[in-house]
Structure 1
Amino acid sequence: MKKIISIFSLVMVFVLGSCIEQNYPIWEGAEVEFQTAVITAPVAGQNYPRVAVANTAGTHSLQVNLVARQRDSDETITYVVVPEGTTAVAGTDYNVAGSLVIPANSSTATLSVDIIDTGAIGGSVDLLLELEGNSTIQPSENYKRVQLRITRPNPPVED
């Protein structure tokens, strides 16, 4: 008798539990974010991470994620250099295009930064990048910025 009651109770839980209507909200927005900002802790006192890059690196790539359903056509995403967090000089320390393309049916793109080898002059400069998005895809407030610290080797010591 105990087995029958246990089985009956279990069946009733499944029957009654499946009748509950569950209306979970579905987010329909679209955002872009830097993968580096998602996985790397921010710099103390800032809301963005810093990545060290040697000035001999050549091209440094940053992954940009589309947080939304994939699009049927290419999406051009713009970005800017933020002056308040940048000490590097365009054309001297780096070159960037200002936009990137997320290909159709894809969730990622690559933002390429051309790091210019300024030689062994010592020190470092910073480059702060911020995603702007486009008319239908906005930047993620928490993950829209990444700073590159371009390090330069010290000059050789003369005897």
Structure 2
Amino acid sequence: MKKILSIFSLVMVFVLGSCIEQNYPIWEGAEVEFQNAVTTAPVAGQNYPRLTVANTVGTVNLQVNLVARQRASDETITYRVVPEGTTAVAGTDYNVSGTLTIPANSSFGTLSVAVVNTGAIGGSVDLLLELEGNATIQPSENYKRVQLRITRPNPPAAG
């Protein structure tokens, strides 16, 4: 009898325990982040990754993720060049627009950087980009920055 009562009690615990409604909170915020910042380790001592590209690459396309429900209309996201962390010169080493678009019904946008071919002058320059978002979409604090290191080949040896 004790065995039947124990089994019955155990069954009742499982049956009644499964009826408890779980109200998990659902995050309703909206953020943007660089995909490269999510998948690439940060530079030592910084909170952003560095991507190295040659000055002959032409255009560098960086994926920007929308971490939220997809929007019914296009979203324009602003970004800026961060002076601290940037040694590249606008118009000389690179060109950017300052905005990107996440299309309607999409979770991704593309930030395009036109890298200028400065020729074989040697060395490298850095370009630090930071997402700013818009009125309804904020930048992710952990993944809002990416740095491009633009390398320039050395000039040919004088012979």
TM bucket (normalised to shorter chain) is over 0.9
The runs of at least 4 aligned residues of structure 1 exceeding 4 Å deviation read: 3-11
State the Cα distance separating 1:125 from its structure 2 match.
Answer: 0.1
TM superposition shift of 1:17: 2.2
Say which SS state the counterpart of residue 85 (structure 1) adopts: coil
Aligned to 2:51: 51
- TM-score, normalised via structure 1 length: 0.93
Q: CA deviation at 1:142?
A: 0.4
- Normalising by structure 2, report the TM-score: 0.93
Aligned AA (1:41): A
- Following the alignment from structure 1 to structure 2, what is the Cα–Cα distance between the partners of residues 109 and 30? 14
Change (3 A) 1:17 1:123: same
Identity of aligned residues (%): 85
User: CA separation in 2, counterparts of 1:5 and 1:79?
Assistant: 67
- Counterpart-to-counterpart distance in 2, 1:58 and 1:113: 8
Aligned CA distance change for structure 1 residues 58 and 9 (closer, same or farther; 3 Å): farther
Identify the residue that residue 60 of structure 2 maps to in structure 1.
Answer: 60
Does 2:137 correspond to 1:122?
Answer: no
**Pair 1:142-2:104 in alignment:** no
- Which ranges of structure 2 fall in alignment gaps of 5 or more residues? none
Report the count of equivalent residues: 159
Match of residue 12 from structure 2: 12
2:81 corresponding residue in structure 1: 81
Task: Give the residue type in structure 2 aligned to 1:35.
Answer: Q
Deviates more, 1:48-57 or 1:8-17: 8-17
Deviates further, 86-95 or 11-20: 11-20
Residue 53 of structure 2 aligns to a residue whose secondary structure is: strand
Three-state SS of the structure 2 residue aligned to 1:83 is coil
Q: Distance in 2 between matches of 1:129 and 1:6?
A: 64
User: Which ranges in structure 1 are unaligned for 5 or more consecutive residues?
Assistant: none
Provide, for residues 112-146 of structure 1, a one-character-per-residue CA deviation record: whole Å limited to 9, x for no partner.
00000000100000000000000000000000000
The equivalent of 1:27 in structure 2 is 27
Distance 2:27 2:158 in 1: 62
After superposition, the CA RMSD in angstroms is 1.8
SS of match in other structure, 2:24: coil
